[in-house]
Amino acid sequence: MTGSILFEAIVFLAGAIICVSIAKRVGLSSVIGYLLAGVLIGPYVLGFIGEEGEDILHFAEFGVVVMLFLIGLEIEPKNFWNMRKTIVGMGGIQVSVTILLSYLLFSLLEYDWKVSLVISMAVALSSTAIALQTIKEKGLMNTTFGNSSFSILLFQDIIVIFMLGAIPLLSNSDNEAITENTNENTNLLESLPMGFQTLAIILSVVFIIIAGKYLIVPMLRKVAKTGVRELLIAAALLIVFSISFLMEYVGLSPALGAFLGGVVLSNSEFKHELESTLEPFKNLLLGLFFMAVGASINFIVIAKNPLTIGGVLLAIIVLKGLALFITAQIFKLKIDQKLLLTFSLAQIGEFAFVLLSFAFGLNILEQEQMDMMLVITALSMSLTPILSMINERIILPKIGTKESIKRPMDHIAKSQKIILVGFGHFGSTIGRFLRSHGVEATILDHDSNRVDFLRKMGFEVYYGDATRIDLLESAGIADAKIIICATNKISVSRAISKIVKDHYPHVELMIRTKNRYDAYELLNMGNENIYRESLETSLVLAKDVLSKMGFRKYTLNRQVQNFLKYDADSLRRLAKEPKSEDEYIFKARKELEQQEKFLMEDFKRGIVDFDNHWDSEHIRKALNKT
Amino acid sequence: MKKVLILFSHPKFEKSRVNSSLVHHIKDKSNVTFHDLYEQYPDFHIDVAKEKELLNQHDIIIWHHPFYWYSCPPLMKQWIDMVLEFNWAYGPEGKALHDKICLNVITTGGSKAVYCSEGYNSFTVKQFLRPFEQTAILCGMVYFPPFAVMGTHNLSDKALDNYKINYGKLIDLLQNNLAPNDFKNHSFLNEIPQLKTI
């Protein structure tokens, strides 16, 4: 049955679609759906996927890399630097306490000390994929819990390098056996002495930072200039692939490298564009990853020894949870944050697959021990979403203090989000004036040269095509109060107006238009806030002409106000008139007709001298009559 | 029930303590139209037709404003200049406002003690308000004494609360036919027995 790539793709996609939609309908996390799909299509239930499950798992780990790149994009270097204490502190405590507890457990079970140590190292690592995906799905990334989880996971990504370095030291078997069992685990670092290893690590990190600034951003600008959308997708993938390759080559975790790359690019104008481009890839790959984990659960091993496996699994989850709780206690998290952290990181992560097979390759572990630990790892990952659900639905409502209900005032002020589309001469004036009132608009512009220049001037400008709903979404349209269309392209305003009307009707649109005809069209689409760019300026000029001819300025000022009102009324009236179909052929003639109509309206209005205020002449006339 | 129109003029309302407290207490009362002139006409371009229509619809007109330089803020004077048109509000055919009730609700920084012949402001509030009184009289309206919150620079929160509550009560009294007999011995409406300090 298996073998054809197309067939496998069909199996995976169909499994995902069916199981995830069922899981979502029942109110479970999508991760459970994917895991279940994996079990179903795996070798022990339907048997669609066999041996190749492991390869798929390896390939799908790339989803974790993309995810960390995306997370990096959301963390600016300054904030990352501020997190350093949490990363080292929380991560360090969690890893060391877990290793200690787990070592005690396996020593009690009378394992060899080397085996216990290797297993404990694997146990200490949690699953970035499962934990972060669940946290993001629930929108908890910006809570203390989200931050702590992230810090711990990041520390684990770093520490795993040292673990991989330390495991060979535990091996006392002869070199022959090593080569026999070791799969092609060659990388640059292993051939170097320790000091050079550290140097290589530092160098590659520095390289990523420098490349991000002087290689990647200029490349993205060049790509953006071509205006071909798929090139940008290709460029985004190229960046992530290259970083992963480099990291694997020097022996670092690709996920860690991707994260750093993301942080470096988080300050660039391409942030939103990269996010919306890579998001779909990440989701699909992660889905694949979870399915592969599900498929890799070896039910034969479980059947052989169900009690031992169940017992060890339970013990590991409890001791990991305990270590996490202690960590949270030391860092004084609130009780509900503590519990969330405890439950969401209490699994053994995907790094365990790597560590365990590496140790197996070095003859430290026996086949049986490795199989058991692999099953426990996969099971513990599958249990996480269920444990989290139990925590959230049963435990937290009883003891937790739900924090999401009441928000402080500054949140309300922040949620008055303004999105400004187009930062040319028109939009930049708007942006400057808003900023002078302490209002920072999220700015979208499609000209990468201008974006770069304006960023140098200290504005927060992002690059992208604002007619794409996913870009508007990553710019935060869902929470926006107002979107300003300051672009001079009617096609852009029209598209945004449609998106807002169809998907985000609560957002108020304020649109610049070039002329009356565009204004008609937007008015007829149901937009009320239309700003014709030439109207006020021409009136100010006309006012100055009349002033130079001897008219008094204050009277002219009042007449300008009157004219604006009169013009707005007639614009709305004329917009409702039916228009001829052959719009393009007769455009010139149509414009003349329109001008004529306006002039006729003006003629009916006559010369404006009905402004009697502060004018005693009419009073004198009236009094003389009586 | 009589309908009340509050013509509110304050060029820096967002920074005012006393006026925002007073306004928030009364602006949503039934049969009260709160009309924020500086918000409505930021460019001083008053829509005269609309203002006349509003005046036609109400029985009691309150000019509510801080007392700047012994008078009202400029937009309110602009309002008077523009809206109270000859032969509509006054003049041989100007009867649109006849028999409506009119009064000032004001806030002053100085206390009542400084508004007298011995104080440094030399004159009483009632004397300073003469132009408004006469404007109302010329338009055929019945001018009531002012409701004044005085000494706002040193006003305690408790005293302010008291003023706020009394402002609401005053509007109730006006809507239920408060008559000149009720305040014949008082130069401020906040001194009438119905509004004594709680």
Q: DSSP labels for A74-95?
A: HS-HHHHHHTHHHHHHHHHHHH
- Together in a domain, A225 and A365: yes
CA angle A516, A520, A524 (to 5 degrees): 165
**Residue that finishes a domain, picked among A491, A507, A533:** A533
Q: Which band of pLDDT confidence, cut at 50, 70 and 90, is reported for residue B60? A: very high
The CATH number covering residue B169 comes to: 3.40.50.360
Would the pLDDT of A3 be above 70?
no
Question: Any bridge partners for residue B7, and if so which?
Answer: B35, B63
Would the pLDDT of A585 be above 50?
no
- Together in a domain, A379 and A447: no
Record: contact A561-B45, CB cut-off 8 A: yes
- Together in a domain, A388 and A421: no
How many beta carbons lie within 10 A of that of residue A322, not counting itself? Answer: 15
For residue A513, which phi and psi values (nearest 5 degrees)? -130, 155
Residues of chain A with pLDDT > 90, as a percent, come to 14
Angle at which helices A53-74 and A254-265 cross, to 10°: 30
Q: Which helix (H) or strand (E) holds A257?
A: helix A254-265
- Out of A284-298, B34-48, B129-143, pick the least confident: A284-298
ipTM: 0.79
Would the pLDDT of A304 be above 60?
yes
**Overall average pLDDT of the A337-353 stretch:** 85
Would A499 be classed as within a structural domain? yes
- What is the model's pLDDT at position A142? 67
- What is the model's pLDDT at position A255? 79
The C-alpha atoms of residue A37 and residue A30 are separated, in whole angstroms, by: 11
Higher-pLDDT residue of B196 and A15 is A15
- What is the model's pLDDT at position A227? 72
Q: Which residue has the tokens 């090593």?
A: A178
How many beta carbons lie within 10 A of that of residue A14, not counting itself? Answer: 13
Record the tokens describing residue B144, joined without a space: 């009531």
Record: contact B85-A561, CB cut-off 8 A: no
Least CB–CB distance from A613: residue in B81, B87, B91: B81
Would the pLDDT of B4 be above 80?
yes
Q: Which band of pLDDT confidence, cut at 50, 70 and 90, is reported for residue A189? A: low
B161–chain A nearest CA distance, Å:
25
Q: Which band of pLDDT confidence, cut at 50, 70 and 90, is reported for residue A5? A: confident
Would the pLDDT of A297 be above 60?
yes
- Together in a domain, A162 and A263: yes
**Overall average pLDDT of the B37-51 stretch:** 93
Would the pLDDT of A222 be above 90?
no
**Overall average pLDDT of the A177-203 stretch:** 58
- Out of A147-156, A435-444, A476-485, pick the least confident: A435-444
- Asked if residues A483 and A507 have their Cβ atoms less than 8 Å apart, the reply is yes
- Asked if residues A43 and A297 have their Cβ atoms less than 8 Å apart, the reply is no
The C-alpha atoms of residue A149 and residue A126 are separated, in whole angstroms, by: 10
Would A560 be classed as within a structural domain? no
Q: Which residues of B touch A (CB under 8 A)?
A: 43, 45, 48, 81-82, 85-87, 91-92
Chain A residues close to B86, C-beta within 8 Å: 618-619, 622
- What is the model's pLDDT at position B6? 97
A576 burial type by CB count under 10 A (0-12 exposed, 13-18 middle, 19+ buried): exposed
- What is the model's pLDDT at position A403? 33
Beta strands A530-532; A461-463: pairing state: unpaired
Record: contact B82-A612, CB cut-off 8 A: no
Q: Which band of pLDDT confidence, cut at 50, 70 and 90, is reported for residue A173? A: low
Record: contact A613-B87, CB cut-off 8 A: no
Record: contact A613-B45, CB cut-off 8 A: no
Chain A residues close to B45, C-beta within 8 Å: 558, 561-562
Chain A residues close to B90, C-beta within 8 Å: none
Structural domain including A452 reads: 414-533
Q: What pLDDT digit, counting tens, does each position of A522-543 carry?
A: 999 999 999 999 899 999 999 9
Q: Which helix (H) or strand (E) holds A273?
A: helix A271-295
Higher-pLDDT residue of A140 and A437 is A437
Record: contact B86-A614, CB cut-off 8 A: no
Least CB–CB distance from A622: residue in B43, B82, B86: B86
Q: Which residue of A has its CA nearest to B80?
A: A613
- Out of A38-52, A72-86, A600-614, pick the least confident: A600-614
Q: What pLDDT digit, counting tens, does each position of B124-181 carry?
A: 999 999 999 999 999 999 999 999 999 999 999 999 999 999 999 999 999 998 988 8
Record the tokens describing residue A138, joined without a space: 């629930």
Record: contact B86-A613, CB cut-off 8 A: no
Would the pLDDT of A365 be above 90?
no
Would the pLDDT of A179 be above 50?
no
A553–chain B nearest CA distance, Å:
14
Which of B14, B40, B41, B43 to mutate against chain A (most A CBs within 10 Å)?
B43
- Together in a domain, A309 and A365: yes
Q: What pLDDT digit, counting tens, does each position of A425-453 carry?
A: 899 899 888 888 888 888 888 766 667 66
Closest CA to B115 of B63, B74, B67, B76: B67
- What is the model's pLDDT at position A42? 82
Q: Which residue of B has its CA nearest to A618?
A: B86
Which of A543, A608, A613 to mutate against chain B (most B CBs within 10 Å)?
A613
Record the tokens describing residue A168, joined without a space: 């060979």
Question: Any bridge partners for residue B86, and if so which?
Answer: B90
**Overall average pLDDT of the A544-549 stretch:** 93
Q: What pLDDT digit, counting tens, does each position of A81-98 carry?
A: 888 888 899 999 999 999
Which of B45, B52, B81 to mutate against chain A (most A CBs within 10 Å)?
B45
Record: contact B81-A614, CB cut-off 8 A: yes
Three-class SS state of A366: coil
Least CB–CB distance from A561: residue in B43, B48, B85: B43
Record: contact B91-A619, CB cut-off 8 A: yes
Q: Which residue of A has its CA nearest to B47?
A: A562
Q: Which of the listed ranges A249-263, A391-405, A579-593 does the model predict with the highest average pLDDT? A: A249-263
- What is the model's pLDDT at position A592? 65
Angle at which helices A587-605 and A553-575 cross, to 10°: 130
Least CB–CB distance from B87: residue in A561, A613, A622: A622
- Together in a domain, A319 and A428: no
Would A593 be classed as within a structural domain? no
**Residue that finishes a domain, picked among A517, A533, A549:** A533
Count residue pairs from A and B with Cβ separation < 8 A: 19
- Together in a domain, A481 and A377: no
Q: Which residue of B has its CA nearest to A559?
A: B45
Q: How many domains does chain A have?
A: 2
Record: contact A561-B86, CB cut-off 8 A: no
What integer best gives the mean pLDDT of chain A? Answer: 80
Whether the CB of A622 is below 8 Å from some CB of chain B: the reply is yes
- Together in a domain, A100 and A224: yes
Which of B41, B78, B86, B88 to mutate against chain A (most A CBs within 10 Å)?
B86
Whether the CB of A58 is below 8 Å from some CB of chain B: the reply is no
Least CB–CB distance from A622: residue in B43, B82, B91: B91
A426–chain B nearest CA distance, Å:
23
Q: How many domains does chain B have?
A: 1
Chain B residues close to A562, C-beta within 8 Å: 45
- Asked if residues A57 and A296 have their Cβ atoms less than 8 Å apart, the reply is yes
Record: contact B86-A558, CB cut-off 8 A: no
B171–chain A nearest CA distance, Å:
33
**What letter represents residue B164's amino acid?**
K
Would A421 be classed as within a structural domain? yes
A564–chain B nearest CA distance, Å:
11
Would A505 be classed as within a structural domain? yes
What integer best gives the mean pLDDT of chain B? Answer: 94
**Residue that finishes a domain, picked among A488, A511, A533:** A533
The C-alpha atoms of residue A488 and residue A491 are separated, in whole angstroms, by: 9
Three-class SS state of B8: strand
A424's CB contacts (< 8 A; 6+ apart) are A445, A450, A486, A487, A488
Q: Which band of pLDDT confidence, cut at 50, 70 and 90, is reported for residue A51? A: low
- Together in a domain, A289 and A428: no
Would the pLDDT of A275 be above 90?
no
Would the pLDDT of A407 be above 50?
no
Record the tokens describing residue A81, joined without a space: 């630097």
- What is the model's pLDDT at position A412? 34
Chain B residues close to A543, C-beta within 8 Å: none
- Together in a domain, A183 and A280: yes
Would A329 be classed as within a structural domain? yes
Q: Which residue of A has its CA nearest to B92?
A: A623
Record: contact B86-A619, CB cut-off 8 A: yes
Residues 534-593 of A with CB under 8 A from B: 558, 561-562
Higher-pLDDT residue of A625 and A128 is A128
Record: contact B85-A622, CB cut-off 8 A: no
Record: contact B87-A558, CB cut-off 8 A: no
- What is the model's pLDDT at position B83? 95
- Together in a domain, A364 and A431: no
- DSSP symbol at A409: H
The CATH number covering residue A273 comes to: 1.20.1530.20
Chain A residues close to B82, C-beta within 8 Å: 613
Record: contact A622-B92, CB cut-off 8 A: yes
- Together in a domain, A137 and A242: yes
The CATH number covering residue A465 comes to: 3.40.50.720
Three-class SS state of A345: coil
- What is the model's pLDDT at position A603? 64
B79–chain A nearest CA distance, Å:
11
Structural domain including B187 reads: 4-195
Q: Which residue of B has its CA nearest to A614?
A: B81
- What is the model's pLDDT at position A405? 32
pTM score over 0.80: no
The CA R_g of chain A, rounded to the nearest whole Å, is 32
Chain B residues close to A612, C-beta within 8 Å: 85
Would the pLDDT of A607 be above 80?
no
How many beta carbons lie within 10 A of that of residue A137, not counting itself? Answer: 12
- What is the model's pLDDT at position A575? 79
